[in-house]
Amino acid sequence: MAFDPGAVAALSKIPIPSSAKGFGGLPAGTTTTAETLAARGARLFDGTFTFPQLTVRESAVAHNVGQMAAFCASVGVDLAPHAKTTMAPQLFARQLAAGAWGLTVATTAQAQVCREFGVRRLLLANELVDPAGIAWVAAELAADAGFDLYCYVDSIDGVRLLDRALASYAPGSTDSRRLPVLVELGREGGRTGCRRTEDAVVVAAAAAATGTLSVAGVAGYEGGIAHDRSFEALAAVDAYCQRLVDLADRLVASALVAGRPIVTAGGSAFPDVVAAALGRASDRATVLLRSGCYITHDDGEYARVSPFTGSSPYALTAAIELWAQVLSRPEPGLVLLGAGRRDVGFDQGFPVPRSYRAADGAVRPFAAPGAGGPAVQVFELNDQHAYLSVPVGSSLAVGDHVCLGISHPCTTLDRWRHVLQVADDDTGVAQLGPSVTDVVLTYF
């Protein structure tokens, strides 16, 4: 088992305080859990919850997990989804149950959360340099022979630092468990990673020469190379991924890799290009995608650049909805909503208005841009307010609820510790909205 189902199941029994964001309607003096909310048939608009409120559609998550698993199987690559997107063990369990190779993390703190829920294989997609983090990794590897963790190196200094720290622990703690590392290949002007292939080979040789490390393969990140799907953008991503394949082949030819090499890149925006490029080495390497945002998808950044939209056989569905109430209509074409930067990401675009719920309980979609006059759009955010432009004759009224899609799930989910998981029965029970089937806990 790649995770501890008991630890995940226990999350539904953790008491939720009325002081938790979005739970101000809980009865005072009672113990409420996700389990009790689901048992009593709680619904989004039944007075239990305060707003703004973040929800995740259970059916959309299940769909997206299945779609990505099917895509990876079809192209012969493995998936190590990035945990940082959700930091939600309940969602990790879904990804691992669907056949994920393991999980990707960016920090030792994220790795520790995963280990608390029994995850057996982790890819730390970063350089490991802090003493406390190295100590934790060494202790985990020594204590559990069934646990595997990989991390990056991209410099001689980094190799030396890691080797000295690991060698300082008690004899025998790492002798039989060398820490497998991936040599990271970057690009000029990019993030971490060796800038030149020749430098990466030197770093690999240094790691292989230590008594504490083994070279397990190569890694890179293509996400910052392009931000659209133009021919030039996709060609640049493909060329970068080919450099990773070439480096892996060179390390194998130089006998610097212990066993079958891993070749890995990101893949949230360009999973098709990454899978095709790295897949050229699938006969001789373990190819890993580290896509994370697919599990919820979005209505902004990934809706624009992902290939899995529209008529794609692997089309994803936006799963996250932020519900906010209309606080004010101070001008004919301006609506102020009670949600802002403390509630939703804005680094890759403002939230996208989807629909609204009026006083009669009916949910009505907003007209598509150009189909019904001026577009309804969020054009500014304050800490707790969203500025929504609407047609002068819009029926939106104070107290109505507006459903907002989000852009870039990573910077929305980290603003919430409790996310309502909802079903698709929106019109049931006197139009009180969808039923709450679980509360997804995040560990940011």
CA distance linking residue 40 with residue 395, whole number of Å: 34
Let me know: does 103 contact 83? Beta carbons within 8 Å: yes
Let me know: does 330 contact 324? Beta carbons within 8 Å: no
Note the pLDDT of residue 23. Answer: 95
C-alpha distances in Å from residue 440, one per residue of 292, 297, 298, 318, 386 = 17, 17, 18, 17, 25
- All domains of the chain, ordered by start, with CATH? 5-57+323-441 (2.40.37.20), 120-295 (3.20.20.10)
**Torsion 239-243-246-252 (CA) sign:** negative
Residue position matching structure tokens 């559990």: 144
Note the pLDDT of residue 29. Answer: 78
CA distance linking residue 335 with residue 258, whole number of Å: 61
Note the pLDDT of residue 427. Answer: 83
Note the pLDDT of residue 239. Answer: 97
361 three-state secondary structure: coil
Note the pLDDT of residue 175. Answer: 46
**One digit per residue, pLDDT tens: the chain, 444 residues?**
689 999 999 999 999 999 999 999 988 778 899 999 999 999 999 999 999 999 999 999 999 999 999 999 999 999 999 999 999 999 999 999 999 999 999 999 999 999 999 999 999 999 999 999 999 999 999 999 999 999 999 999 999 999 999 999 854 444 458 999 999 999 999 999 999 999 999 999 999 999 999 999 999 999 899 989 999 999 999 999 999 999 999 999 999 997 899 999 998 899 999 999 999 999 999 999 999 999 999 999 999 999 999 999 999 999 999 999 999 999 999 999 999 999 999 999 999 999 999 999 999 999 876 655 568 999 999 999 999 999 999 999 999 999 999 999 999 999 999 999 999 999 878 799 999 999 999 999
Q: C-alpha angle with apex 66: 222 to 95, nearest 5 degrees?
A: 70
Note the pLDDT of residue 194. Answer: 98
Note the pLDDT of residue 174. Answer: 44
CA distance linking residue 71 with residue 88, whole number of Å: 23
pTM of the predicted structure, to 2 decimals = 0.95
